[in-house]
Amino acid sequence: MNMKGDRKYIWIFLFPMAAFLTIFLYYPFFKSLYFSFFRTKGFFDKKFIGWDNYDRLVHDKLLGAATLHTLEIMVYVIIFQVGIALLLAVMVDNIPKLKGFYRSVFFFPVVISGTAISLLFVLFYNYNFGLLNSVLAGMGLEKVLWLSESNALRAIAVPTVWHYVGFYFVLFVTAMSKIPEDYYDAAKIEGISGFKKMVKLTVPLIMSDVKVVITLAITGTLKVFDFVWVISRAQNGTDVLGTYMYKKAMVDQNFGYGSTVAIYMVVLGVVIALLANRLLKTEEITY
Amino acid sequence: MKKSSMVLLSTMLSFSVLLGACGKAEEKNTASETPKTETETPKTETEAPKKDVSLRVFSTFGGTDTAREAFQAALDEFTSKNPNVKIENDTMSANDDGFRTKVNTDMNSGNEPDLLFYFVGTDAQGFVDAGKVVPLNDLLDADAEWKNGFSPAALENTRQKDGNIYAVPLTGFYEGLFVNKKIFADNNLELPTDWDKMKTAVSTLSKKGIIPLAAPFDQSHYVIEHFILSAAGSKGHNAGLADGIDPNWEKGYAAMKELYDLGAFPKDAATIDLSMASNYFGEGKAAMIIEGSWAMGNWKDANVIDNTTVMPFPAMPGGLGTGKDVIGGFGSGFYLSKSTYDNADKKDAAVALLKHMTSPAVIEKIALANGGTPAAANVQIKGANQTATDGFAMAASATSVNNPIDSMVAPETFSTLRAGVQAVVTGKKSPADVLKEAKNIEDQNKK
Can you give the three-state secondary structure of chain A, one letter per residue? CCHHHHHHHHHHHHHHHHHHHHHHHHHHHHHHHHHCCEEEECCCEEEECCCHHHHHHHHCHHHHHHHHHHHHHHHHHHHHHHHHHHHHHHHHHCCCCCHHHHHHHHHHHHHCCHHHHHHHHHHHHCCCCCHHHHHHHHCCCCCCCCCCCCCHHHHHHHHHHHHHHHHHHHHHHHHHHCCCHHHHHHHHHHCCCHHHHHHHHHHHHCHHHHHHHHHHHHHHHHCCCHHHHHHCCCCCCCCCHHHHHHHHHHHCCCHHHHHHHHHHHHHHHHHHHHHHHHHCCCCCCCC
Neighbours of B383 (CB within 10 A): 17
A150 Cβ contact list (under 8 Å, min separation 6): A237
Q: What is the pLDDT of residues B333-367, one digit of tens each?
A: 999 999 999 998 899 999 999 999 999 999 988 98
CB contact under 8 A, A250 and B6: no
Report how many Cβ contacts below 8 Å link chain A to chain B. 102
Diameter over CA atoms, chain A: 79
Q: What is the pLDDT of residues B91-135, one digit of tens each?
A: 988 766 778 888 988 998 889 999 999 988 878 888 998 899 999
* Helix or strand (DSSP H, E) at B402: strand B400-402
> Looking at beta carbons, which residues of chain A come within 8 Å of B276?
122, 126
Residue of chain B whose Cα is closest to the Cα of A143: B267
Question: Which of B:189-218 have CB within 8 Å of A?
Answer: 211, 216-218
CB contact A15 to B (< 8 Å) = yes
What is the model's pLDDT at position B35?
41
What is the model's pLDDT at position B28?
37
CA B74 to chain centre: 19
Q: Is the pLDDT of residue B27 over 50?
A: no
Q: Is the pLDDT of residue B46 over 50?
A: no
Q: What is the pLDDT of residues A117-162, one digit of tens each?
A: 999 999 999 999 899 999 999 999 999 999 998 999 999 999 999 9
CB contact under 8 A, A231 and B271: yes
What is the model's pLDDT at position A257?
94
CB contact under 8 A, A250 and B98: yes
Q: What is the pLDDT of residues A42-91, one digit of tens each?
A: 677 788 998 999 999 999 999 999 999 999 999 999 999 999 999 999 88
CB contact A9 to B (< 8 Å) = yes
Closest CA to B184 of B60, B286, B108: B286
> Looking at beta carbons, which residues of chain B come within 8 Å of A233?
216, 218-219, 271-273
CA A10 to chain centre: 33
Pick left, alpha or beta for residue A98 (phi over 0 → left; psi -120 to 50 → alpha; otherwise beta).
Answer: left
B321 Cβ contact list (under 8 Å, min separation 6): B229, B230, B231, B232, B233, B234, B313, B315
Q: How far from each other are the two terminal CA atoms of chain A, in whole angstroms? A: 32
Fold of the domain built from segment(s) B173-328+388-445 = D-Maltodextrin-Binding Protein; domain 2 (3.40.190)
Average pLDDT on A174-195 reads 86
CB contact under 8 A, B411 and A252: yes
Residue of chain B whose Cα is closest to the Cα of A232: B271
Start-end ranges of CATH 3.40.190.10 in chain B? 50-168+331-374, 173-328+388-445
> Looking at beta carbons, which residues of chain A come within 8 Å of B10?
9, 12-13
CB contact under 8 A, B267 and A145: yes
Would the ipTM clear 0.95, i.e. be above it?
A: no
Distance from CA of A103 to the nearest CA of B (A): 33
Q: What is the pLDDT of residues B132-179, one digit of tens each?
A: 999 999 999 999 999 999 988 888 888 888 889 999 999 889 999 999
Class of domain B50-168+331-374: alpha beta
* Cα(A46)–Cα(A36) distance, integer angstroms: 11
